[in-house]
């Protein structure tokens, strides 16, 4: 089966505060609207590498929705699973950075068009084209969305496909009870788990000394491969038979949002296409580093040529 990856979840526009520490409680200037939404960035990155990519989402019948669909279609994503709703507007996110590592969001998601996505919006014949399903934890904000995820898991796994999961935790969303319950369910079906190191304590242990214990627990539970993202320090790979670290690349940080999504998309699709784990991780680090060098969450997705040129410039 050729590589076609399915993602389901939020398709948003993002507005980015121009000043550090600008916040949202006083008038200020923003860049945007930019196409965004973690699963959408992931889907875009898969398509830009030349692999099949199907995104299921909902947008409103408005200019934000039109812009998002046009961008994804231009980049090669199959957009036939995106429904345009007349009774809701396209979701949005406002972002303000405090530092490179810390940022605040105001999301309009559960009450926007993508918040209305249900299992009925997931067309089985489109799912049948997919060999892999990727889940973003940030999408698990409603029971309806979790039902849609369940439908895709059953379909893809039932045909011998695989599932990857990036918890992509946003502190603004942790109080949503659907989310923590769904995490446990999804981990039971996860083949490739892609947390960032800062998210490990949510899964019960601190990074560093106890990391190996957590990874062993996940591998025993049936997760085949664990990749821990470490921002500028790169990423580490774990499976039952292999364990290694790949250093990050020194780049100027323009806008870190979207790095993890591009990283995950590149790692998963390269691996599915037959690359070795070391090469897939190297390409994923390059893809994450390229993402942070561009302003705008989806503006930093890369082609194969972009990544090859980046690796060449950084000594392979
Ligand atoms: P997000 O959810 O914000 O998209 P994440 O927490 O899921 O990000 P990160 O670890 O921040 O994921 O980034 C993913 C990858 O991108 C890293 O493993 C690394 O390869 C690259 N990267 C991220 N930040 C930097 C940086 N400051 N310098 C160089 N590379 C970076
Ligand atoms: Mg992330």
Q: Scanning the structure block, which residue is given the tokens 């046009």?
A: 70
CA–centroid distance, residue 61 to ligand 1 (Å): 33
Q: Could you read off the pLDDT of 277-302 as tens digits, one per residue?
A: 999 999 999 999 999 999 999 999 99
- Residue whose CA is at the smallest distance from ligand 1 atom 24: 231
- Residue whose CA is at the smallest distance from ligand 1 atom 1: 260
Per-residue confidence band for 176, with pLDDT thresholds at 50, 70 and 90: confident
CA–centroid distance, residue 237 to ligand 1 (Å): 15
CB 230 within 8 A of CB 243: no
Query: Does residue 253's CB lie within 6 angstroms of at least one atom of ligand 1?
Result: yes
pTM beyond 0.95: yes
> Would you list the domain boundaries of the chain?
4-313
Q: Could you read off the pLDDT of 90-144 as tens digits, one per residue?
A: 999 999 999 777 889 999 999 999 999 999 999 999 999 999 999 999 999 889 9
CA–centroid distance, residue 140 to ligand 2 (Å): 14
Q: Could you read off the pLDDT of 195-237 as tens digits, one per residue?
A: 999 888 787 655 556 888 899 999 999 999 999 999 999 999 9
The predicted model gives 62-86 an average pLDDT of 98
CA distances to 21, 75, 78, 273 from 302, rounded to whole Å, are 29, 10, 18, 17
Bridge partners, residue 97, by sequence? 103
Helix (H, G, I), strand (E, B) or coil at 244: strand
Please state the atom number of ligand 1 nearest to the C-alpha of residue 166: 7
- Residue whose CA is at the smallest distance from ligand 1 atom 25: 232
Q: Scanning the structure block, which residue is given the tokens 């769904």?
A: 182
Mean pLDDT, the chain, integer: 94
Q: How many other CB atoms sit within 10 Å of the CB of residue 87?
A: 8
Kindly report the CA angle at 106 between 100 and 112, in degrees rounded to 5?
A: 135
Query: Does residue 258's CB lie within 6 angstroms of at least one atom of ligand 1?
Result: yes
Query: Does residue 251's CB lie within 6 angstroms of at least one atom of ligand 1?
Result: yes
- Residue whose CA is at the smallest distance from ligand 1 atom 23: 231
Best CA proximity match to 165, nearest among 288, 8, 309, 25: 8
Of the options 3.40.640.10, 3.30.930.10, 3.20.20.140, 3.40.1190.20, the CATH number for the domain spanning 4-313: 3.40.1190.20
With a cut of 80, say whether residue 177 has pLDDT above it: no
Best CA proximity match to 313, nearest among 250, 271, 258: 250
Q: Rounded to a whole number, what is the distance in angstroms from the first to the last CA of the chain?
A: 30
């Amino acid at each position: 089966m050729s590589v076609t990856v399915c993602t389901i979840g939020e398709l948003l526009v993002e507005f980015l505060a121009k000043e550090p520490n600008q916040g949202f409680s006083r008038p200020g200037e923003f860049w945007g609207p930019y196409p965004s939404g973690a699963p959408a960035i992931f889907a875009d990155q898969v398509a830009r590498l030349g692999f099949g990519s199907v995104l299921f989402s909902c947008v409103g019948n408005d200019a934000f929705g039109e812009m998002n669909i046009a961008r994804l279609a231009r980049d090669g994503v199959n957009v036939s699973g995106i429904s345009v709703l007349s009774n809701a507007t396209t979701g949005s996110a406002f972002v303000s950075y405090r530092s490179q590592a810390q940022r605040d969001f105001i999301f309009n998601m559960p009450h926007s068009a993508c918040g209305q996505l249900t299992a009925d919006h997931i067309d089985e014949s489109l799912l049948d084209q997919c060999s892999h399903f990727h889940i973003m934890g940030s999408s698990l904000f409603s029971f309806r969305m979790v039902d849609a995820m369940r439908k895709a898991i059953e379909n893809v796994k039932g045909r011998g496909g695989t599932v990857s999961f990036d918890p992509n935790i946003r502190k603004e969303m942790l109080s949503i009870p659907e989310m923590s319950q769904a995490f446990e369910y999804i981990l039971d079906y996860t083949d490739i788990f892609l947390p960032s190191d800062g998210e490990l304590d949510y899964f019960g242990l601190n990074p560093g000394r106890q990391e190996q214990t957590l990874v062993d627990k996940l591998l025993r539970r049936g997760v085949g491969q664990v990749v821990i993202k470490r921002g500028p320090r790169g990423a580490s790979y774990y499976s039952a038979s292999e364990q290694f670290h790949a250093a990050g690349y020194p780049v100027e940080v323009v806008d870190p949002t979207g790095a993890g999504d591009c990283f995950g998309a590149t790692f998963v699709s390269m691996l599915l296409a037959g690359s070795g784990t070391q090469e897939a991780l190297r390409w994923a680090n390059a893809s994450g580093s390229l993402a942070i060098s561009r302003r705008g969450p989806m503006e930093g997705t890369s082609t194969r040529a972009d990544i090859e040129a980046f690796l060449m410039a950084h000594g392979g």
